[in-house]
Structure 1
Amino acid sequence: MNQVIELIQSHRSIRKYKDTPLTNEQVETIIQSAQMASSSNHMQAYSVIGVTDPNVKKRLAILAGNQVYVERCPLFLVWCADLHRLKVACSLQDTEMVAGTTENFIVATVDTALAAQNAAIAAESMGLGIVYIGGIRNNPKEVAKLLHLPELVYPVFGMCVGMPDHDPGQRPRLPLELIYHENRYDPEKAKKGIEEYDQMMRRYYLNRTHHSRDTTWSKEMAAIMRQPNRKHLRSFLEGQGFRLE
């Protein structure tokens, strides 16, 4: 173990923040760290919008499902997959970009996620806390309008950043043997491993909620996966120029 590994393995989602604003140096360091993430073919197909305006944060909090910590965090980062900048680069070379492919959509989304995780680790190394906000995709059309996102840009997720004002416990992860397979995928490990993990998570939920929440991981996942979620996303993405062909 070294300090970097200890930092990564101590991650917790922070949802309460002190009012202390981030310095310009902190913000620049976070974004510069994000920029050093791996990127497919050096495309760097993402952009980040830092939101500090209280009115904009309040609106984003509502659009993300009334998540109050979006409004109350000192800095809210909206991570966007961005093919618009690449279209401009192609135009400078008198080339028409083929934007509407599933591959380009995946590249931009993955680039965004890799950069964001670099940013999260950088923020946590400075004593700050973060939480990802997938709810930014609840109303993507309204978010895009609010943030003036051009064609070929879409909001992948948000990220609250700030000085932690609480000390939440870590949520147990799946056992390593369920995640890591050697040489080939072993589907036989899933059932027994999940049953054991369910018992661990049941104890976690009971302890965290003072016995008011009796549930398991598979029960929570079944509730999420039994129905399609955010069915509006495809039409929104197509409206932004992502044809997914």
Structure 2
Amino acid sequence: MRTATAPSPHERLKTRYGDNCAAAPSAWSDVIDHLLDHRSVRKYLPDPVTDAQLHAILAAAQSAPSSSNLHAWSVVAVTDPDLRDRLSQLVGNQPQVSQAPMQLVWLADLSMLHQASREKEQAAQGLDYLEMFLLAALDAALASQNASIAAQSIGLATVYIGGIRNQMDKVADLLGLPPRVAPVFGMCLGTADPARPTAIKPRPPQSVVLHRNRYESQAVMPGLQHYDEVMQRFYKSQSMEADSWILRSLNRVATPASLTGRDRLREMLMQLGFPLK
């Protein structure tokens, strides 16, 4: 339930989009309010995540939709400081991976179905196809987002770590993953450091992402140009270099080297037991 001091829907939308363009909709709820308050946190207190908190978060994760009810995902909760330090090195020396008391490494996991097929002596040739890796990765993403929302609802904070894919083969070795299991992303989990508050990062206008009946290409660039201006103001407000979001994003995809190791993704997945036919 909203409190008297909670931001209004209009204020929430103004913060999320970085301007006054979005009118407050008549449809609103506490859940929507909660979602619009999401922020990625990179500074954590050392307070451990309790088992009760973890089990509640996992129950929320398992309540996410699962394609064909296959549940082709799993997660490794890493609390050992040495392991977190080694993970931090593998993902590009991101300090929050070491600092957060728990790192959740989300897995595309086809090993469970593979084990079941061997136990029942039944064919499972479909596991060799790209579709099944994509299904497992999507299942992991859906589950993890439920987990992130649940964590925030009980006073914890998160940030996703895509750098897990930089050297996913080495992450798999570090965590002792069996064949047909791939780490697809990480998630820091813990209590946000109140001394280092995190701002809500604006999003592109809905005209960039919402298309009605057919894809509307003509709306994309005007929306991105507007977002570029919004992000330059945001960077400046955060004492960051106020350069172009568009140019930053293009630099991120400029060359294979820009992918920081993920240009080897197919090779690494095949090494981990995914034929990707």
The separation in 1 between residues aligned to 2:192 and 2:43, in whole angstroms, is 6
Give 1:15 deviation, angstroms.
0.6
Residue aligning to 2:95: 68
1:77–1:161: 8 Å Cα contact kept in structure 2?
Answer: yes
Matched position secondary structure for 1:160? strand
1:15–1:69: 8 Å Cα contact kept in structure 2?
Answer: yes
Report matched runs for 1:88-103 at 5 Å: 88-98=115-125, 99-103=127-131
2:208–2:220: 8 Å Cα contact kept in structure 1?
Answer: yes
TM-score, normalised relative to structure 1: 0.97
1:87–1:96: 8 Å Cα contact kept in structure 2?
Answer: no
Q: Give the aligned residue type for 1:113.
A: A
Alignment equivalent of 1:127, drawn from 155, 159, 164: 155
Residue aligning to 1:234: 266
1:218 pairs with 2:246: yes
Gap runs ≥5 in structure 2: 1-27
Alignment equivalent of 1:197, drawn from 224, 227, 232: 227
The separation in 2 between residues aligned to 1:49 and 1:14, in whole angstroms, is 20
Q: Give the aligned residue type for 2:111.
A: H
Give 1:58 deviation, angstroms.
0.6
Aligned-residue CA RMSD in angstroms? 1.0
Give 1:96 deviation, angstroms.
2.4
Give 1:167 deviation, angstroms.
1.6
Q: Give the aligned residue type for 2:179.
A: E
The separation in 2 between residues aligned to 1:43 and 1:62, in whole angstroms, is 33
1:156 pairs with 2:184: yes
Q: Give the aligned residue type for 2:177.
A: L
Give 1:100 deviation, angstroms.
1.5
The separation in 1 between residues aligned to 2:227 and 2:186, in whole angstroms, is 29
User: What percent of counterpart residues are identical?
Assistant: 42
Give 1:95 deviation, angstroms.
1.0
The runs of at least 4 consecutive aligned structure 1 residues that moved more than 2 Å come to none
Matched position secondary structure for 1:232? helix
Give 1:107 deviation, angstroms.
0.3
Residue aligning to 1:146: 174
User: Which deviates more from structure 2 when the two are superposed, residues 134-143 or residues 148-157?
Assistant: 134-143
Give 1:71 deviation, angstroms.
0.6
Q: Give the aligned residue type for 2:270.
A: E
Q: Give the aligned residue type for 1:225.
A: V
Q: How many equivalent pairs are there?
A: 243
